[in-house]
Structure 1
């Protein structure tokens, strides 16, 4: 993802607002933004990993044991997914969905993920 691409700009905006929500002690609002960031950053290892680390932080703030375990598992699976090339497009990255299940994209996310556009 090039830093000036629309996808990168949207990813940075979602991550920035999620961090603000976490700082404001609004982890549920942060998680929603992190789901969007996950879809946008999933193809880039560092971005993908950083989203799961922030999701882990949000899960901790929510005191959600299931989500904590899910994020720990995803932190282990992220490098494997990148090495194997098996990343389910559109997956929102939270523990309430399978880590292996592709998901439908909203129109705006599909447009942002189309790397052929500037």
Structure 2
């Protein structure tokens, strides 16, 4: 059985590492690279309500900093969806979380990210 508490605890370091890389790219004024790390964080953490909402909030802040109105409103909708649907497992696997893709679209997962997800699901401690 999938334990979301263990998963959240186990995947958090990977998500936080991607968020740290996004902050580093923000400081280096590399907005597309910054968003790529936010997308990676989204793929990694989307099975955890707490992390899923956090990443969408970070995407919303990205949209504000860069004046991306469509992305801003898209992230508001995605925050509501992440907060209300994740706990029921209603997330499209692999979806990168940006408003440039349907919030319902299942997407392939980068093998590196999939390895991190698999490890987080298996680790019990």
TM-score, length-scaled by structure 2: 0.81
Structure 1 unaligned regions, length at least 5: none
Q: Does 1:33 align with 2:60?
A: no
* Higher normalized contact order (CA 8 Å, seq sep 6+, divided by chain length): 2
Which residue of structure 2 aligns with residue 102 of structure 1? 106
- Structure 2: runs of 5 or more not aligned: 1-6
> TM-score when scaled to structure 1?
0.86
Q: Specify the SS of the correspondent of 1:103.
A: coil
Matches within 5 A, 1:71-82: 71-82=75-86
Partner Cα distance (1:85, 1:9) in 2? 21
Residue number in structure 1 paired with 2:96:
92
Q: What does 1:1-118 correspond to in 2, within 5 Å?
A: 1=7, 3=9, 5=10, 7-114=11-118, 115-116=121-122
Give, in angstroms, the shift of residue 83 of structure 1.
Answer: 4.0
Does the aligned pair in 2 maintain the 1:27–1:61 contact within 8 Å? no
d(CA) in 2 for partners of 1:66 and 1:53? 15
CA offset at residue 84 of structure 1? 3.3
| Aligned-pair CA distance for 1:37 | 0.1
Displacement of 1:41 = 0.7
Q: Structure 1 residue 16: deviation in Å?
A: 1.2
Partner secondary structure for residue 122 of structure 2: coil
